[in-house]
Amino acid sequence: MTRIIAGRWGGRRLATPSGDGTRPTSDRVRESMFASLGSMLGRFDGLAVLDLFAGSGALALEALSRGADRADLVESDPRAARIIARNIADLGASARVHRATVERFVAAGGGPWDLVFLDPPYAVSAEEVAAVVAALQQSLTEGAVVVVERSSRDRFTWPEGFTPIRDRAYGETRLWYGH
């Protein structure tokens, strides 16, 4: 079971979709991710968060628990979107779930966002992920941080206009941070 690690909802459990289509970020990886983000951003207070390929919504909900102001969560799978909506309602979170493809949502514009998570299924190619990141550029605040989660066996290259900050591997998972 996935849980919120820290903040006002620390310890609360989240419902997660079951099946092959989703792969929730482990508590250990999320804890490391948020420790890194804390050192990069200083605080989460007031941030606008975008969670693409949201799954259960755990990444955006963790950011909200730690003080982020609002979040948009994008998920195309109807079952997963319903679970995200239930998690949002159960926590009383200031968040909206958007049932759309990531590509369509990003193309429509929006934001601006200060923190973006992309945790696509591993079957989505690194090139497709880079194209989504590139399309986000106009919807980000100055200094926004983007976190991409992929298999540690995959390579990811930041598109033009983005600066890599760091990347870390945790077993089968690798996180790339950029802005």
How much of the chain exceeds pLDDT 70, in percent?
97
pLDDT at position 21 is: 55
Entry pTM = 0.94
Mean pLDDT score, 65-71? 97
Q: Quick one: tokens of 13?
A: 């459990």
CA distance 168 to 174: 6
pLDDT above 80 (res 22): no
Q: pLDDT tier at 141 (50, 70, 90 boundaries)?
A: very high
Per-residue b or e along 131-166, where b marks 16 or more CB atoms closer than 10 Å to that residue's CB? ebbebbeebbeeebbbbbbbeeeeebebbeebeeee
pLDDT at position 17 is: 85
Q: Quick one: tokens of 85?
A: 């909506």
Where do the domains of the chain lie? 2-17+26-178
pLDDT above 80 (res 174): yes
* CATH code of the domain occupying 2-17+26-178: 3.40.50.150
List phi, psi (to 5°) of 54.
-65, -25
Q: pLDDT tier at 19 (50, 70, 90 boundaries)?
A: low
Digit-coded pLDDT (tens) for 103-120? 999 999 899 999 999 999
